[in-house]
Chain A
Amino acid sequence: MTSSSLSSSFTVTVNGEPQLLDLDNRTTLLDALREHLDLTGAKKGCDHGQCGACTVLLDGRRVNSCLVLAVATQGHSITTIEGLGTAERLHPIQQAFIDHDGLQCGYCTPGQICSAVGALDEADRGWPSAATADVGAEKITLDDSEIRERMSGNLCRCGAYVNILAAINAVSP
């Protein structure tokens, strides 16, 4: 790839499948998913990393796909809501969101769920958060205030937060 080229051909793994893409360098990961791969589960709520609706997992970590250039994901692995679970085989967090009514309009929901998957993994690794009283401590107790803080990068205008908390509590160890 040369600097004179304004578009790029590259391969990225999406939901376990290698995808060969030829995209304008300006295309974000979010637009690549939605407009080029017809994976519309990742949502565009703000396009500036200010709402979290576009959250997907990049090499297993939750990120705002609206701020990631698709071209920069070459060789990496993306998991979207479509790759987490399906109607026939729901991910436990998807099931928990249903059981606890952790959604209303549904637009922030895929991002919330991807974010929850990432957040639980982060807690499992012992990563602290702004709600952690002692950042030096090795283990994290994922109490309500920890979950709320860790999920605060996903705005929900319908106000499903109480139920989202309950859903995550139901699946967190």
Chain B
Amino acid sequence: MREFGYQQVSDVETAVATLATSADARYLGGGTNLVDLMKLGVETPELLIDVTTLPLTDISETADGGVLIGAAVRNSDLAANPVIRQRYPAVAQAVLAGASGQLRNLATTGGNLMQRTRCSYFTDVTKPCNKRAPGSGCPARDGEHHNLAILGASEHCIATSPSDLAVALVALDAVVHVREGDSARAVPLTEFRRLPGDRPDLETTVEPGALITGVSLPGLPIAAASRYRKVRERASYAFAIGSIAAAVEVSGGLVTDCRIAWGAVAAVPWRATRAEAMLRGKPVAIESFAAAADAELTAAEPLEGNAYKVALIRNVTVELLAELTGASR
């Protein structure tokens, strides 16, 4: 690990300004991903700005009936929050499905959205990786990729985002609040993270040096019955190989509204907008759910080692939608 300076800051402005003074500084949240990657030599900052001391640790209700989650809110506090648990259960479930109790006590909301991929080529500096070392190549496509992307990948990168939380958030129309230089900006989570394209090293759409200050969720009645379902190789304490956050509103036997997002299938938390569009107005039936999933999955470009994910995602989607609507198989 490279030597680095460490600085605590007490306000957002100072944090952003301090970062700008360095060519290679990083914000330090819970450290559960950054410190991990620093040990591996993947991240080599010269300065860490500790943003856990910022006054961004509250979860507050907003005027539109939604909530604003401070970026420094720890995962465990987020999942324990009564408002989140009752109005956005998928968010609590997604957090709780991730990592371990110890890690959730450290990890922050903002940090969670910035999590880097767990692709084993990315985390090993002795190997090529276009995301870590642009232009060096992507060995994953011809190598080990059983838990890599089936959607939105490119020839340059097939990494997946490991975040569970982001999947629930993106399903429920979350907005990311960032501070860029002197100005504040709100970016819908659907637009916050980038697909790899020919620049897999660029992971977000915000300016370098931007600081996440919070994430807001709108007042969304449908979210109160939302749910998160995660499939992983171990019963706990493992990254998803496929996950889904969903919420459905039903009236007169028809789906009147729905929210569907998938995890572990792409570099971004994948909002299944095609599936949602397909499902709206359709009868509550297994066939509708399957057709909606299939509509979204027509864009899938699976490789030999991760082709199972197409069936997996389709199956969990049908299963969860059936559960949420009481449709019988």
Contact = CB atoms under 8 A, between A and B. Distances in A.
Nearest to B22: A3
B51 to A, nearest CB: 11
B35 interface: yes
A72 B93 contact: no
B310 to A, nearest CB: 25
Interface string A118-162: 110010011111101001101000000000111011110000000
B32 A49 contact: yes
B2 to A, nearest CB: 8
Q: What is the predominant secondary structure among interface residues of chain A facing chain B? A: loop
A86 interface: no
Interface string B212-256: 000000000000000000000001110000000000000000000
B41 to A, nearest CB: 12
A87 interface: no
B101 A119 contact: yes
A66 B30 CA distance: 12
A103 B303 CA distance: 43
A2 B18 CA distance: 11
Interface stretch (A13-21, A57-65, A164-172): A57-65
A154 B93 CA distance: 20
A149 B106 contact: no
A69 B105 contact: no
A130 B4 contact: no
A13 to B, nearest CB: 17
Interface stretch (B61-69, B78-86, B126-134, B177-185): B78-86
A110 interface: no
Interface residues of B, number: 42
B32 A135 contact: no
A125 B80 contact: yes
A41 interface: no
A67 B31 contact: yes
B92 A64 contact: no
Q: Which of A24, A25, A126 has the most CB of B within 10 A?
A: A25
A8 interface: yes
Interface stretch (B5-13, B143-151, B273-281): B5-13
A138 B81 CA distance: 10
B28 A5 contact: no
Contacts of B5: 2-6, 25
Contacts of B8: 1
Q: Which of A47, A48, A125 has the most CB of B within 10 A?
A: A48
B76 A72 contact: no
Given A115-B101, A130-B96, A150-B101, A3 B35 contact: no
A71 interface: yes
Contact of A128 (B4, B52, B92): B92
Contacts of B89: 135-136
B36 interface: yes
A62 B102 contact: yes
B118 to A, nearest CB: 11
A48 B36 contact: yes
A119 B76 CA distance: 12
B96 A26 contact: no
B102 A63 contact: yes
Contacts of A118: 101-102, 105
A152 B100 contact: yes
B207 interface: no
24 contacts: A1-B6, A2-B7, A3-B18, A3-B21, A8-B6, A49-B36, A49-B99, A49-B100, A58-B105, A62-B101, A63-B102, A67-B36, A67-B103, A69-B31, A71-B6, A122-B80, A125-B80, A129-B96, A130-B93, A152-B100, A152-B235, A152-B237, A153-B99, A153-B237
Given A67-B103, A122-B76, 20 more contacts: A3-B7, A3-B21, A3-B22, A48-B39, A49-B99, A49-B100, A62-B101, A63-B102, A69-B28, A127-B76, A128-B79, A128-B85, A129-B96, A135-B79, A136-B89, A149-B236, A152-B100, A153-B101, A154-B100, A155-B237
